[in-house]
Amino acid sequence: MARKLNSGKSAPPITGGENRAIQPTFPRKVIIENVRPEVDGGRFPIKRTIGERVEVTADIFADGHDVLYALLRNRHTSQQDWQETPMEPSVNDRWQGGFYVSAQGRHLYTLQA
């Protein structure tokens, strides 16, 4: 017996053997949370002096057993290009990395996995 589609046309019946090759593909979910240092969820800037290292840590994990790679990206607000530093895995899902403050003023940083 044929099934009816919304258009009113008949569709051929589906049997188990015809759809074995169809594999659902889901987007890979990477979660980044508990980023430190941060003040009030990023509402206020952290403070460092020139030459001081900013140590950044975060919990980074994904669905399944995929191998992860994380980057710490930073730049001074007067620069256009981001500087990228690989982050290193620590304990469990914790990753760490850092950068040195090179000039006075605001610096931005973000994580990418």
pLDDT at residue number 42? 81
pTM of the model: 0.70
pLDDT at residue number 3? 44
Rounded Cα gap, residues 71 and 90, in angstroms = 14
For the chain, the structural domain boundaries read 25-112
Residuewise pLDDT in 10s, the chain (113 residues) = 444 444 455 555 555 555 555 555 555 688 899 999 998 888 888 999 999 999 999 999 988 777 889 999 999 999 999 999 999 999 889 999 999 998 999 999 999 98
Burial class (CB in 10 A: 0-12, 13-18, 19+), 7: exposed
CATH architecture of 25-112: Sandwich (2.60)
pLDDT at residue number 1? 46
pLDDT at residue number 112? 92
- Find all residues with CB under 8 Å of 62, minimum gap 6, and list them: 28, 29, 30, 31, 68, 113
